Amino acid sequence: MTLVSSRSAATAADLFPVQELRAQFPSLARAGEFVFFDNAAGAQLPQQALDAVQHHLLDRNAQRGGRFRHSIAVDRTVDNGRQAIATFLNARRPEEIALGMNATSFIRTISLAIGQSLQERDEIVVTDLDHEANIGTWLALAPFGAKFVWWKMRANGNLYVEDLLPLLSERTRLVAVTLASNTLGTIINVRAVADAAHAAGAEVFVDAVHFGPHGQIDVQAFDCDYLVCSGYKIFAPHMGFLWGRYELLKALPTFREEFILDEPPFKIEAGTFVYENVAGMEGAIRYLASIGEWLDTDSGRDAGDEPSRVSSRLRSAMAAIRTYEQHLSAELLRVLTDCGAQIYGIRDPAQVERRVPTVCFNLPGITPAAVSEAAAVANIGIRDGHLYTPRLMERLGLPVATGAVRVSLVHYNTVAEIHRLGDALRDLQQGKRA
């Protein structure tokens, strides 16, 4: 079936085969009635990703670089994973993809390299909306002589490029910004950020970790300079990957053992990473591409080379996921509003295209921990605390020690699960009043 753009979001969401896709995730069936609403901390894995991990461990569990068949197969696993991620991000070449343990370590690797090459451009723009990993790693460059400029969000939980423009100058080296807030769910127009930064001669570093499972990431369309993601948010095992413009990665000073080539991506990949998790990431991308093949018979799957076919399927898949998740966002906002929740950030269901289905809130008179505990009793997994954004909590006027409640959905979640959460919150409120 084909998702037609002229149809309403509700109609398109009705076409989304959520039950069929849920059947691809063994953990959902094994969990029974449990509801996974903590996907921002890590999503579940489809069978294709699980099979890829198992196949690697059973049939090619060896170190790469050898002459025997198991080792040669590992080389192929790494190459296939790198190519799949390059296709997922629409990178210009697979050598722009570095594989590793997590996004935070890659942010630190790039920040250290930039810290060693600041020169007259010594200012770095950071935001008060970002995950601390994309703030603290840059602030740690103060001993290198780095200066910092704060790009602050407005009261509606969004960052505006017009507020960034006066912060940019001939001293700006880099703007570090998220693609989507891991706490508020706000989506940032990173292409507009890149246009502004590049006009000032600066570079842009994008943290796409939270946006990864929710929509298409296109580094060429974004025109950013560096971007990081985490596989475990995108239906894969725990791993991270970095994209960077090849010429920039080539120029950066990075640590490498002497026998490692001073070329991307090898100069960025310090030490041995977990090969089976790279295999799992490639399996997760194959799963996402299969959604595009399933939903859109006109996706051009028979045209072009394999990366082109996969790219076309991924575009269809992520567009369908975005449409379905906007429906989830609208319903989640409606249910939380009916429960009297204080929602932080974008709360208007008519503006769901500006967010992902991650909602941060508090219930009046009830601690965030009590809300999460009540949800857990009702067999629903959500999260509370500062959510790795302590500066954002302070900006919202919330104690960092207690923070807020976060509900984070992905495409295998359903409206019925949202209603179960609403019932649990109302039961909690009634119990507090009794």
Per-residue pLDDT, 5: 38
Query: What does the alpha-carbon distance between residue 116 and residue 113 come to, in Å, rounded to a whole number?
Result: 5
In a domain, 374, yes or no: no
Per-residue pLDDT, 71: 96
Instruction: Please tell me which residue, 47 or 307, carries the higher pLDDT value.
Output: 47
User: What are the DSSP calls for 318-373, one per residue?
Assistant: HHHHHHHHHHHHHHHHHHHHHTT-EEES---GGGGGGB-SEEEEE-TTS-HHHHHH
| Phi then psi dihedrals of residue 405, to 5 deg | -100, 140
**CB 167, CB 151: distance < 8 Å:** yes
9 pLDDT band (50/70/90 cuts)?
A: low
Per-residue pLDDT, 434: 53
Burial class of 95 by CB neighbour count within 10 A (0 to 12, 13 to 18, 19+): middle
Cα dihedral 159/382/357/178 (nearest 10): 30
What is the mean pLDDT of the segment spanning 263-268?
91
Query: What does the alpha-carbon distance between residue 107 and residue 129 come to, in Å, rounded to a whole number?
Result: 17
Instruction: Please state whether beta strands 97-100 and 172-178 pair in parallel, antiparallel, or not at all (unpaired).
Output: unpaired
At 159, which amino acid appears?
A: L
| Phi then psi dihedrals of residue 36, to 5 deg | -90, 95
Q: Judge if the upstream peptide bond of residue 349 is cis by omega within 30 degrees of 0.
A: no
Helix (H, G, I), strand (E, B) or coil at 259: coil
Query: What does the alpha-carbon distance between residue 352 and residue 210 come to, in Å, rounded to a whole number?
Result: 16
**CB 73, CB 299: distance < 8 Å:** no
**CB 406, CB 384: distance < 8 Å:** yes
List, for residues 352-406, the tens digit of each pLDDT value.
Answer: 999 999 999 999 999 999 999 999 999 999 999 999 999 999 999 999 999 999 9
List, for residues 189-211, the tens digit of each pLDDT value.
Answer: 999 999 999 999 999 999 999 99
List, for residues 224-244, the tens digit of each pLDDT value.
Answer: 999 999 999 999 999 999 999
Query: What does the alpha-carbon distance between residue 377 and residue 390 come to, in Å, rounded to a whole number?
Result: 27
Per-residue pLDDT, 2: 34
List, for residues 90-112, the tens digit of each pLDDT value.
Answer: 999 999 999 999 999 999 999 99
Per-residue pLDDT, 15: 85
In a domain, 410, yes or no: no
Q: Is the pLDDT of residue 134 over 90?
A: yes
300 pLDDT band (50/70/90 cuts)?
A: very low
Q: How far is CA 20 from CA 23, 220, 379, in A?
A: 5, 32, 22
Per-residue pLDDT, 90: 97
Q: Is the pLDDT of residue 4 over 90?
A: no
Q: Is the pLDDT of residue 256 over 60?
A: yes
In a domain, 172, yes or no: yes
Q: In the structure encoding, which two tokens stand for residue 222, read together? A: 């974004």
Name residue, tokens 């020690």: 401
Instruction: Please state whether beta strands 404-408 and 358-362 pair in parallel, antiparallel, or not at all (unpaired).
Output: antiparallel
At 136, which amino acid appears?
A: G
Query: What does the alpha-carbon distance between residue 160 and residue 127 come to, in Å, rounded to a whole number?
Result: 11
- Structural domain including 204 reads 54-283
Mean pLDDT of the chain: 94
Q: Is the pLDDT of residue 297 over 80?
A: no
What is the mean pLDDT of the segment spanning 164-168?
98
Per-residue pLDDT, 158: 95
In a domain, 193, yes or no: yes
Phi-psi region of 349 (alpha: psi -120 to 50; beta: other; left: phi over 0): alpha
Q: In the structure encoding, which two tokens stand for residue 135, read together? A: 């703030």
Q: What is the pTM of this model?
A: 0.94
Element (H, E) at 405: strand 404-408
Question: Can you state the angle between helices 69-89 and 306-338, rounded to 10 degrees?
Answer: 60
Query: What does the alpha-carbon distance between residue 63 and residue 76 come to, in Å, rounded to a whole number?
Result: 12
List, in sequence order, every beta strand (DSSP E) within 245-344: 342-344
What is the mean pLDDT of the segment spanning 51-69?
96
Per-residue pLDDT, 27: 98
Query: What does the alpha-carbon distance between residue 368 and residue 375 come to, in Å, rounded to a whole number?
Result: 11
At 245, which amino acid appears?
A: R
In a domain, 417, yes or no: no
How many angstroms separate the most distant Cα atoms in the chain? Answer: 71
Number of domains in the chain: 1
In a domain, 217, yes or no: yes
**CB 327, CB 9: distance < 8 Å:** yes
Task: Give me the residues paired with residue 342 across strands.
Answer: 362
CATH of the domain at 253: 3.40.640.10
Q: Is the pLDDT of residue 1 over 70?
A: no
In a domain, 262, yes or no: yes
In a domain, 106, yes or no: yes
What is the mean pLDDT of the segment spanning 117-139?
96
What is the mean pLDDT of the segment spanning 291-307?
68
Q: In the structure encoding, which two tokens stand for residue 120, read together? A: 């007259």
Q: Is the pLDDT of residue 7 over 60?
A: no
